[in-house]
Chain A
Amino acid sequence: MAVATDQFQFVRQLVQTRTAIVLGEDKKYLVDSRLAPLARDLGFGDADAVVQHLRRVPNLALEQRILEALTTNETLWFRDRQPFEALASHVLPQLVQRNAATRQLRIWSAACSSGQEIYSLAMLLDEQFPELRNHWHVDLFGTDFCTEMVTRATEGLYSTLEVNRGLPASLLVRYFDREGANWRLKPHVRSRARFGTMNLAGPWPPMSAFDLVLMRNVLIYFDVPTKERLLKAAGNQLAPGGYVLLGAAETAVGLCTDLTPVRLGDAVFYSAKGPRS
């Protein structure tokens, strides 16, 4: 059954309030198709049933899953071009110079999904900072709430649909090997990254400081107190001179006084205030 008008309007309102994305009046079919797999997973008959359930029994976790199904495009290489350009032209040269004595670079992708973000960085580093290939310890660490995503990221195996998403063809042929209908990242790129499960909303395990914390497009899923807590924690996780990067539509301004926005190239990064920076 197609999603009823009531349910559709509820979802439109929810998406707009929580993500500022406006679903057009003609996107009912999209709600049907994107929520159908979620409905199946949760044992509901269809999209309409799962939305009806949420309306009857408000549930933040379910709300998030619905939002995620409707809005996420996280399986994208080099997602949003500006931050990657800024990383290549400003941030990484700065970090590499700053860490020249220790020859260590530590980067954390805090919601790594199936690994595209951290592997995009691995390719960028390999292409543009070849001096790091030898005699440097580069730690690219990805964590995700979802175990399945962590497994997928570790495997580094992607479908054609996935490699079509934002990955320049020149990098596809250089860094991937075809395996049947799929594409696997070459071992020398895969081996540069490590992955683990972690719930950002829960207590964080002890971790060493990072030069760069990528926490992009995660905050939208949390309420304001949690956002504040996560931003503060991300700031505390920074090595001196390090940066936090948020999603293109996200900001720490008004949520976290420990972080100071810094415009580098065409992107905004956040540095930690106080003695750490």
Chain B
Amino acid sequence: MRALVVDDSRAMRTILTRILRRAGVDEVSEASDGKDAIARLDGAALPDFMLVDWNMPNMNGLELVGALRHHPQWRGITIVMVTTESEQSQIVRALAAGAHEYVIKPFEEESLIEKLAILGFGLQETLADGTEPMGQEAYSP
């Protein structure tokens, strides 16, 4: 199983990558914004799913979702938004644009695994720490 993590915070990318690896995803790549993600998709083996932050420079997550959905080769990639954007209207927008699931930061490790399970990616559940929600944005990029 392959995944692409798109977030402008390096610390957040590291956390997400660690969670996915621990849960049994074989290959996790990282991109620092929407443009970088598209550059990485071009010509590479496609990921099964992507975790996409909303607020990023160059091309934000919502624009990235739109671009993927209109691309003949990339429209089938499953997308989970992982973001601090928590307004109901924003979630509706992301889903309408073509995101499959939505995780609001801060989140617990299990939530991400559970959301991926909803989408048919059965990953290994770990007995997670349950104390330190991730994605408080206290991390520097």
Q: Which residues of A contact B (CB under 8 A)?
A: 21, 23, 27, 29-30, 33-34, 71, 73, 76, 78, 81, 160-161, 163-166, 168-170, 172-173, 176-178, 181
Question: Does residue B140 face the partner (Cβ distance < 8 Å to A)?
Answer: no
Q: Which residues of B contact A27 (CB under 8 A)?
A: 127
- Are A76 and B130 CB-contacts (below 8 A) given A160-B104, A170-B95? no
A76–B111 alpha-carbon span in the complex (Å): 9
The minimal Cβ–Cβ distance linking B25 to chain A, given in whole angstroms, is 19
Q: Which residues of A contact B114 (CB under 8 A)?
A: 76, 165-166
Contact present for A81 and B117 (CB under 8 Å): yes
Contact-size category for B: 20 to 34
Question: Does residue B15 face the partner (Cβ distance < 8 Å to A)?
Answer: no
Q: Which residues of A contact B111 (CB under 8 A)?
A: 161, 164-166
Q: Which residues of B contact A78 (CB under 8 A)?
A: 118
One digit per residue, 1 when the CB lies within 8 angstroms of any chain A CB and 0 when it does not, for chain B 84-118 equals: 00111001101100010111101110110011011
Nearest CB to that of B80 among chain A residues?
A: A169
Question: Does residue B129 face the partner (Cβ distance < 8 Å to A)?
Answer: yes
The one of A23, A160, A166, A168 that contacts B127, using a Cβ cutoff of 8 Å: A23
Contact present for A33 and B129 (CB under 8 Å): yes
The one of A21, A23, A164 that contacts B108, using a Cβ cutoff of 8 Å: A164
Contact present for B91 and A33 (CB under 8 Å): no
- Interface centre among B87, B91, B104, by most chain A C-beta atoms within 10 angstroms, is B104
Nearest CB to that of B130 among chain A residues?
A: A34
- Are A30 and B110 CB-contacts (below 8 A) given A168-B101, A169-B102? no
Q: Which residues of B contact A160 (CB under 8 A)?
A: 86, 104, 106-107
Chief secondary structure at chain B's binding surface: mixed
Closest 10 A/B residue pairs (Cβ): A169-B102, A164-B111, A33-B131, A166-B114, A164-B107, A160-B104, A178-B88, A173-B91, A165-B111, A173-B92
- Are A30 and B127 CB-contacts (below 8 A) given A81-B117, A178-B86? yes
A163–B108 alpha-carbon span in the complex (Å): 11
Q: Which residues of A contact B94 (CB under 8 A)?
A: 169
Q: Which residues of B contact A163 (CB under 8 A)?
A: 104
- Are A161 and B107 CB-contacts (below 8 A) given A27-B127, A30-B127? yes
The one of B87, B102, B133 that contacts A178, using a Cβ cutoff of 8 Å: B87
Return 12 A-B CB contacts under 8 Å, by A number: A21-B127, A81-B118, A160-B104, A160-B106, A161-B107, A164-B111, A166-B118, A168-B118, A169-B102, A170-B95, A176-B88, A178-B86
The minimal Cβ–Cβ distance linking A98 to chain B, given in whole angstroms, is 30
A33–B129 alpha-carbon span in the complex (Å): 8
- Are A172 and B91 CB-contacts (below 8 A) given A73-B110, A164-B103, A166-B118? yes
One digit per residue, 1 when the CB lies within 8 angstroms of any chain A CB and 0 when it does not, for chain B 60-100 equals: 00000000000000000000000000111001101100010
A21–B102 alpha-carbon span in the complex (Å): 30
A34–B108 alpha-carbon span in the complex (Å): 14
- Are A173 and B118 CB-contacts (below 8 A) given A30-B127, A73-B110? no
Q: Which residues of A contact B95 (CB under 8 A)?
A: 169-170, 173
Contact present for B110 and A165 (CB under 8 Å): yes
The minimal Cβ–Cβ distance linking A23 to chain B, given in whole angstroms, is 7
List 20 extra interface pairs beyond A166-B118, A178-B86, CB under 8 A: A30-B130, A33-B130, A33-B131, A34-B131, A71-B127, A81-B117, A160-B106, A161-B106, A161-B107, A164-B103, A164-B108, A166-B111, A166-B114, A166-B115, A169-B91, A169-B99, A169-B102, A170-B95, A172-B102, A181-B86
The minimal Cβ–Cβ distance linking B72 to chain A, given in whole angstroms, is 25
The minimal Cβ–Cβ distance linking A41 to chain B, given in whole angstroms, is 16
